[in-house]
Amino acid sequence: MKARWFIGVGLSNAARCGLVIALSALLGCQTQRSADRPYTAAHPPPPIAIATPNSPAASRPAAPPAPESGGPWRALFDGKSLAGWTETDFAGRGPVKVSEGKLILETGLMTGVTWTNAADLPRINYEIALDAMRVEGSDFFCGLTFPVGKDPCSFIVGGWGGGVVGLSSLDGQDASQNETTKYMNFQNGRWFQVRVRVTDAKIEAWIDSDKMVDVSTEGKSISIRLEVEASKPLGIATWNTAAALKNIQLKTLK
């Protein structure tokens, strides 16, 4: 009653109904009622759904199905060892280990792993996917560095205090400052599916089913921050945070 009184204060029944109809149309709601019947307690206006940043109605498009063309997914982590990977030589890094099928990056200033088989790594027209969890800490738990042709780029998940998502770097601007910057709430102890697609025309990235990045690379300068230089050509890093990784896979698209 309070919400309806506030919307309609000072207006006639007809004017109040017109205002509600206009608001409903603007937000995609469909209102069906008789033009000469005002809203009452017995016939209230339909509810108006408001999207919040973490609700399903938030304005992040859902991920499209994976393309049918291309090769099969290839596992880059066997769940048993660091085969194919090496600890990234970051100053102040934490320990790296494999436990119960997970690759564990323990807390350090920056901790990570780098792929050692650069020769078999595609540089364009591929997808890479993994599951990542922030175990403890409050900063990025997946800084995925990957090649875009001859240039490296990083997809940052949960940076700058815990919620920033985006690419570092585009035209010299990092994930907190460019057109890919988004914000998301990441709960410690929960797995998130991360997927990056690199094609001739663009970079796309998803977290679970939410599309977080869809950016054309034409005419853009693509680079990485100096701190993750040791992650090239493919690496995963954390900042002052412990993380668990699993299901690291790669697929060529052409």
Query: Are the CB atoms for 97 and 82 separated by under 8 Å?
Result: no
What integer pLDDT is reported at residue 71 of this predicted model? 81
Judgement on whether residues 140 and 171 belong to the same structural domain of the protein: yes
What integer pLDDT is reported at residue 70 of this predicted model? 67
Tokens 């990977």, residue located: 85
Judgement on whether residues 125 and 3 belong to the same structural domain of the protein: no
Judgement on whether residues 36 and 106 belong to the same structural domain of the protein: no
Judgement on whether residues 46 and 84 belong to the same structural domain of the protein: no
Taking the C-alpha atoms of residue 48 and residue 172, their distance in angstroms, rounded to an integer, is 41
The radius of gyration of the chain's CA atoms, rounded to the nearest angstrom, is 23
Judgement on whether residues 21 and 87 belong to the same structural domain of the protein: no
Q: Which amino acid is at 180?
A: T
Judgement on whether residues 109 and 228 belong to the same structural domain of the protein: yes
Assess if residue 38 is contained within a domain. yes
Taking the C-alpha atoms of residue 37 and residue 48, their distance in angstroms, rounded to an integer, is 20
- pLDDT one digit per residue (tens) for the chain, 254 residues: 333 333 344 444 444 444 434 433 333 433 333 333 343 344 443 333 333 334 333 334 344 444 445 689 999 999 999 999 999 999 999 999 999 999 999 999 999 999 999 999 999 999 999 999 999 999 999 999 999 999 999 999 999 999 999 999 999 999 999 999 999 999 999 999 999 999 999 999 999 999 999 999 999 999 999 999 999 999 999 999 999 999 999 999 97
What integer pLDDT is reported at residue 81 of this predicted model? 98
Number of domains in the chain: 2
Judgement on whether residues 155 and 35 belong to the same structural domain of the protein: no
Strands 164-168 and 182-183: antiparallel
Assess if residue 69 is contained within a domain. no
What integer pLDDT is reported at residue 164 of this predicted model? 97
Query: Any idea what DSSP says for residue 61?
Result: P
Judgement on whether residues 8 and 79 belong to the same structural domain of the protein: no
Taking the C-alpha atoms of residue 221 and residue 217, their distance in angstroms, rounded to an integer, is 8
What are the two backbone dihedrals, phi and then psi, of residue 214, each rounded to the nearest 5 degrees? Answer: -150, 90
Give bridge partners of residue 244 from the DSSP assignment: 104, 133
Query: Are the CB atoms for 229 and 91 separated by under 8 Å?
Result: no
Judgement on whether residues 82 and 35 belong to the same structural domain of the protein: no
CA atoms within 13 Å, Cβ hemisphere of 9? 6
Q: How many CB atoms lie within 10 A of CB 168?
A: 27
Residues 6+ apart with CB under 8 A from 154: 143, 144, 145, 146, 167, 168, 169, 175, 224, 225, 228, 231
* Structural domain boundaries, residue 44: 1-51
What integer pLDDT is reported at residue 254 of this predicted model? 76
* Burial track 26-48 (b if 16+ CB lie within 10 A, e otherwise): eeeeeeeeeeeeebeeeeebeee
* Burial track 98-108 (b if 16+ CB lie within 10 A, e otherwise): beeebbbbbbb
What integer pLDDT is reported at residue 119 of this predicted model? 92
CATH number at residue 162: 2.60.120.560
Taking the C-alpha atoms of residue 109 and residue 117, their distance in angstroms, rounded to an integer, is 26
Q: Which amino acid is at 122?
A: P
As given in the structure block, the two tokens for residue 221 are: 């300068």
Assess if residue 26 is contained within a domain. yes
What pTM, to 2 d.p., does this model score? 0.74
Helix (H, G, I), strand (E, B) or coil at 175: coil
Taking the C-alpha atoms of residue 121 and residue 248, their distance in angstroms, rounded to an integer, is 14
Judgement on whether residues 243 and 123 belong to the same structural domain of the protein: yes
